[in-house]
Amino acid sequence: MDIKGDMLRKLKGRRDGYSLDRAFYIDPDYYGQDLESIWYKDWLFIGHDCEIPRAGNYFTVQVGDYPVVIVRDRQGTIRALHNSCRHRGSRVCSQHKGASAKLVCPYHQWTYELDGTLLFARQMGEDFDKAAHSLKPIHCETVGGYIFINLSEKPMDFGPFRDMVAPYLAPHRLGETKVAFESTIIEKGNWKLVWENNRECYHCAANHPELCRTYPEAPSATGVQGAKDDPVIAAHWAKCEATGLPSEFRMSESGQFRSARMPLIDDAESYTMSGARAVRRQLSADVSQKHIGTLLLFHYPSTWNHVLADHAITFRVLPLGPELTQVTTKWLVNKDAVEGVDYDLEELTHVWTETNDQDRQIVEENAFGIRSPAYQPGPYSPDHEGGVMQFVEWYCNFMEQRLQGDAMPLFRVA
């Protein structure tokens, strides 16, 4: 079967404002094309600078078929390397995170410098060329405390994303934070269902009682249209911008990434059950203003984020299979904040721990129903699901153009 041709026919025949055909959510071959066309070609959020503060610190991650290790070298540079020994392919680093003076393959002890250069390989003969057998590098970029990687040989320009988000992130100094808590959940649904659920709050009132105490359900706050016409949001932007905090909604022409600072309900300060700050110590000394709301940052296909005055919550999405998605959440606090003194871990994490589990159940029920042969694409709400429509539009545009081998399209908000 011609999978690319089949996908293209369905993409070109898709009805605007409707969900995708069943195969896009469950078919293994369609999932394989998602990996090849998006996950192996786009910039992916992978972690934070603060997770590897010193030379030799590393963490590992799996992106589709690719095992990856992120390490800080002796010069302080953050590097991404294919975690596959150049001898016989064994994983060099098998732990989730760690620290090491060298990267040593446990199979035959081939030893690599922190930049991936092969230093030692036992009894390989006089003609063996060490220089030709270093660990393969992966394109790696950092901005505002975030680490992104790109698995393709010729990645898209990272500059436009850096230029857009750097001013929004800079005041929060996330490179000078620490991870207070990390959780990973597995959702039994396609990665696109995880994103579609994230991109609307049409479901929030009935499903997220904890989140709805502080986060507005208004589509102008969640979607991609109407924010500048919302007087509450417009006033919030004006107040924050006047104090030097970039806040207004901005989105790339491709529709792939965007940022905006949104107010919380009734001047809440943080995602807690009371709305009060979860952390006594400011996330950054550069942000002393009160009631700044939450900085929303999105980059398809791998991350959404909330950055507040007292802490930040970052989310990483990685596909594990056609109907299996990993969502990793990290709570970042000031590097000098002390658990039990400056914050209570349960209070800090409660709202999003509950919300994540609720979303997991939603996605799994959604996926369960889509498996039915009776499923057919349904209409999105134009009032509440504009963000979902924008995500699906981005996905369809990207997939259609990449399957055809064309240049990337531009997506603009009407």
SS (H, E, C) 90-125: CCCCCCCEEECCCEECCCCCCEECCCCCEEECCCCC
Note the pLDDT of residue 409.
Answer: 45
CA distances from 332 to 10, 157, 314, 316 (A): 41, 28, 8, 14
Q: Please report where in the chains the tokens 């970039």 appear, as a residue.
A: 246
- The single-letter code of the amino acid at 84 is S
Interval 149-178: pLDDT, tens: 999 999 999 999 999 999 999 999 999 999
Strands 324-334 and 146-150: unpaired
Distance CA 93, CA 30 (A): 31
Give the containing element (helix H, strand E) for 169. Answer: helix 159-169
Domain boundaries, the chain: 44-150, 176-370
Strand partners, 343: 279, 339
Distance CA 199, CA 193 (A): 10
Note the pLDDT of residue 11.
Answer: 96
Note the pLDDT of residue 410.
Answer: 43
Distance CA 292, CA 270 (A): 10
Tokens of 234: 């417009």
Please tell me whether residue 137 adopts helix, strand or coil conformation: strand
| One fold for 44-150 and 176-370 | no
Nearest to 41 by CA among 300, 257, 259: 300
Q: Please report where in the chains the tokens 């498996």 appear, as a residue.
A: 371
Distance CA 232, CA 314 (A): 25
412 Cα distance to chain centroid = 22
Q: Name residues whose C-beta falls within 8 Å of residue 87's C-beta, 6 or more positions apart in sequence.
A: 105, 107, 108, 110, 121, 133
What is the CATH number assigned to the segment(s) 44-150?
A: 2.102.10.10
Please tell me whether residue 373 adopts helix, strand or coil conformation: coil
Beta strands in 188-227 (DSSP E): none
Q: Name residues whose C-beta falls within 8 Å of residue 366's C-beta, 6 or more positions apart in sequence.
A: 189, 193, 197
Distance CA 76, CA 102 (A): 14
Nearest to 187 by CA among 330, 360, 367, 368: 360
Is residue 305 within 8 Å of 315, Cβ to Cβ?
A: yes
Interval 314-336: pLDDT, tens: 999 999 999 999 999 999 999 99
The DSSP letter of residue 171 is G
Q: Identify the segments of the chain with pLDDT beneath 50.
A: 408-414
Interval 230-244: pLDDT, tens: 999 999 999 999 999
Is residue 234 within 8 Å of 397, Cβ to Cβ?
A: no
Distance CA 71, CA 80 (A): 6
Determine if the peptide bond prior to 171 is cis (ω within 30°).
no
CATH topology of domain 176-370: Naphthalene 1,2-dioxygenase Alpha Subunit; Chain A, domain 1 (3.90.380)
Mean pLDDT rounded to a whole number for the chain: 95
Nearest to 43 by CA among 394, 296, 301: 301
Note the pLDDT of residue 405.
Answer: 86
Note the pLDDT of residue 1.
Answer: 67
Note the pLDDT of residue 370.
Answer: 98
